[in-house]
Structure 1
Amino acid sequence: MTTTSQVPPLFGRDRMVHGWFVVKGVSDAGDAAWTIALAWTAVQLASPAVAGLIVAAGTLPRAAVLLVGGAVADRYDVRRVLAGTTVARVLVLLVTVAVAVLAGESVALLAVAAIAFGLCDAIFEPAAVTLGRQLVREEDLSMYAGASQTAARLGTMTGAAVGGGLVALGGLTASATLNALTYLGVLGYLVLVLRLRFPLPRMSPTPMTRAIAEGFGHLRAAPTTRTLVITLSGLNLAVGPALGLGLVLRVRDAEWGAETLGVFQALVGLGALVGGAALIRWQPRRPAAVGFALLVVQGLAIVLLAIPGVFVTAASCATIGVTAGAASALLSAVFVRTVAPEFLGRLGSIQRLGDDCLMPAAMATFGAVAGGASVAVAFGIFGGLMTALMVVALTRSRVLSLDLVRSAA
């Protein structure tokens, strides 16, 4: 696929990049609607426990293939990788529709579809990490990350809003068909419109096991990059259980009702939208320091969820959302700017692996603490640990120097 050597326009006038945000945001909306349809159909066909396994079925395969995806991202043209996985997703959705229509919906069909999507994610996501660096100037990476996250949040919120009605009207097949159409839009844009401006060096052909090992070897040889990857790995291990399980338990115990839970989750989403959007215009001089400082605040907001009270909980949810949206945009830009270009895909997959592998254990631990002690204790422990770890990160000279890094060190 072709690239272009032209000087990119100012970020605010970069129609090619803005168009990518739009088609990707629409695709994220389709994904959100599909996820709701998958979960809803699973609940209708199986017990809650089996339904939970179906929804999470893609996690382990994704984790198993994620390192391969990183090596693929560093070896092959990113547009080819993204286009290929998009084609695979369309085929998965169309086959799901065909089987559902001809043979009916089943637990096996849902599980296979979830696993197939997880495998596609393992290849798509590391390649997507490298895309921003190949489209915009280095000084525009924070704005790119903020705008990208804003579009993704809008898409996800829109898809979640319409997903329930869509599955009620047309079932799994309607949601799968809609999502396939959104991916066709992504595919068309990748092939016809998107052009790389700053192509990264490609890894020479080598066995996958060796390529993956070289990624870990680079971590040993580059202390600044190693510090960054370790610090960023597993950042969601506190907020994920707090919002995904703890907030549900808090609402249930207080008897606030399911509608209140929806309001709290909406506050998180809106806060993240605001936080990501702020980075489109606001460019702090010390993005790494500001990003980790925001995560200190996020940890404290998780601790505050231990305090019963609907207004305190609402304020904490909004704070978690804003800090998550802003910090994620800042730190993802720092990561892309800091890591050596030829290792960006592999180290992106290594950094992501922490969440994928440890999240089930984090969820189980939060539940065990909440059941054995109380939900408030679980919030205090998880939020306190996150705050402490981020404070430690802010005391590390290598973390503070990341703002000035332009290549791996």
Structure 2
Amino acid sequence: MTAVPQAPVATDRPAHRDGNVLRWLGAYASSMIGDNVYYIALSWAAVQAGTPSQAGLVMAVSAVPRALLMLGGGVVADRFGPRKVVIGSDAVRCVAVLAVAALLFTASPGLWPLALLAIVFGAVDAVFMPAVGALPARVTSRGQLARVQGMRGLAIRLANVVGAPIGGLCVALGGAAAAFGLAGMLIAVSVPLLVSVRMKDLPADDEVAQRTPWRDLRDGLGYIRRHPVLAPLIVAIALGDLGFVGPLNVGLTLLADQRGWGASGMGWVLAGFGAGAGAAGMLLTVRGRLPHAGRVSALAILAGALAIGSLAYVPTVAAAVGVALLIGLLAGLSGALCGALLQTQADPAYLGRVSSVSGIVSLGLAPLSMPLTAAAIGWWGTGPVFVTSAVVCGLGGVLALSVAPLRRAELPK
């Protein structure tokens, strides 16, 4: 499992026709579907075993180790190689989920194993996510990275659409234990697929053993800070996420409740967003590359920010679905282009650390805006809060247009 198959010399073969990329994508999709089933099983089991507040605590506890350890996870991915880290992470997650499934089949242990599982998942995610971000550059050529980001976006949409219903059906038929078992098996499928993926090795670094992890972390942060494109790009991504996560999660729920759209109306709006994001992923998968990537991503962030601000003022569900479709298209486009720029601008030896810095904002800090968004809507209403969030998001686009190296950044042909 630790031997690294050598990738062949890079060719111009499109990523969606490359068996090596497709095996990686299959592993990623299977793992993400397993994650969705896992979260359904965890939430249901927590609600059944405790009070609603206790269940909420169990669901949130994984965010703590993820936020605290993710910078270190980037160092681990770069020191040991993202392939080994992803395979090891999926193996640990699989064993942990199946162990809890077996425990629930035989007993009713209460909340403690669920909380422990959530903590383990969060800690493993702290190394898994930076490694996942560093993998695409090792499985394909630089010219195919935008297409790979589009394919990755489609895999995420598929996991969200398929995983939740499968998890709910499994809970209904066999309870949380059966759902945990299914999640573990789906995650397990990714391991042999990842073992078969060929990777491009980086040049040997004889000084790795002599450097401390702390020095690697400082070197990575210094590399990002000095880079003319990566530093402003990560800030732009952070602003976009901070302005996006609150309104499109808790904010949408409160908006649907205030307007009387109900759960079905909210579901249609979310479906519109998912369809737009899927269309953006499909566009990049087919095209493979868009010219003027820096400028296009900045304009997409600005246009998406305007759409977010207007969502609170649309009068009907149909209009909200249309706006959500536009938000999904623009957010999917800007997200994929920003991800491709991160992949192509960063030295592959630093990609784990670059991904960890980007991920700690998106996955660690941005979710913290959700309770703040809910509280702010209670004080000032949906309109002002959505507009404020749109301004924060739009600042990312303004920054991207203002910094010349980022504005002129291009994807390789």
Please classify the TM superposition score into its range, dividing by the shorter chain length: over 0.9
CA pair 112-200 structure 1, distance change in 2 beyond 3 A: farther
Give the SS at the match of 1:197. Answer: coil
Q: Which residue does the alignment assign to 2:42?
A: 38
Q: Runs of at least 4 residues of structure 1 off by over 4 A?
A: 200-203
CA pair 156-306 structure 1, distance change in 2 beyond 3 A: closer
Q: Aligned match of 1:290 in 257, 278, 296?
A: 296
Inter-partner Cα distance in structure 1 for 2:156 and 2:202: 24
Matched, 1:185 2:189: yes
Matched, 1:224 2:229: yes
Q: Which residue does the alignment assign to 1:55?
A: 59
**Greater shift in the superposed pair: 320-329 or 295-304:** 320-329
Q: Structure 2 length normalisation: TM-score?
A: 0.92
Give the SS at the match of 1:403. Answer: coil
Q: Which residue does the alignment assign to 1:299?
A: 305
Q: 2:43–2:55: 8 Å Cα contact kept in structure 1?
A: yes
Structure 1 alignment gaps of length 5 or more: none
Q: Structure 1 length normalisation: TM-score?
A: 0.93
Q: Aligned match of 2:246 in 241, 244, 261?
A: 241
Q: Aligned match of 1:208 in 197, 210, 213?
A: 213
CA pair 201-356 structure 1, distance change in 2 beyond 3 A: farther
Matched, 1:23 2:30: no
Q: 2:308–2:387: 8 Å Cα contact kept in structure 1?
A: yes
Inter-partner Cα distance in structure 2 for 1:5 and 1:91: 29
**Cα offset, 1:201, TM superposition:** 5.8
Inter-partner Cα distance in structure 1 for 2:175 and 2:239: 35
Q: Which residue does the alignment assign to 2:388?
A: 381
Q: 1:301–1:319: 8 Å Cα contact kept in structure 2?
A: yes
1:391-406 residue pairs with structure 2 within 5 A?
391-403=398-410
- Pairwise CA RMSD: 2.0
Q: Which residue does the alignment assign to 2:316?
A: 309
Inter-partner Cα distance in structure 2 for 1:147 and 1:231: 23
Q: 1:3–1:199: 8 Å Cα contact kept in structure 2?
A: no
**Cα offset, 1:225, TM superposition:** 2.5
Q: In the TM superposition, what whole-angstrom CA distance separates every residue of 1:14-47 from its partner, at most 9, and x where no partner exists?
A: 1121122123212222211221121122223333
Q: 1:29–1:155: 8 Å Cα contact kept in structure 2?
A: yes
**Cα offset, 1:274, TM superposition:** 1.2
**Cα offset, 1:397, TM superposition:** 0.7
CA pair 44-27 structure 1, distance change in 2 beyond 3 A: same
Q: 1:78–1:127: 8 Å Cα contact kept in structure 2?
A: yes
Q: 2:301–2:397: 8 Å Cα contact kept in structure 1?
A: yes
Q: Identity of aligned pairs, percent? A: 29
CA pair 96-5 structure 1, distance change in 2 beyond 3 A: closer
Q: In the TM superposition, what whole-angstrom CA distance separates every residue of 1:218-238 from its partner, at most 9, and x where no partner exists?
A: 233333322222222353212
Q: Which residue does the alignment assign to 2:5?
A: 3
Q: Which residue does the alignment assign to 1:124?
A: 128
CA pair 99-375 structure 1, distance change in 2 beyond 3 A: same
Matched, 1:325 2:332: yes
**Greater shift in the superposed pair: 374-383 or 226-235:** 226-235
Q: 2:290–2:411: 8 Å Cα contact kept in structure 1?
A: no
CA pair 310-186 structure 1, distance change in 2 beyond 3 A: same
| Paired residues, number | 405
CA pair 77-393 structure 1, distance change in 2 beyond 3 A: closer
1:96-135 residue pairs with structure 2 within 5 A?
96-135=100-139
Inter-partner Cα distance in structure 2 for 1:330 and 1:113: 34
Partner amino acid, structure 2, of 1:211 = D
Give the SS at the match of 2:261. Answer: coil
Q: Which residue does the alignment assign to 1:349?
A: 356
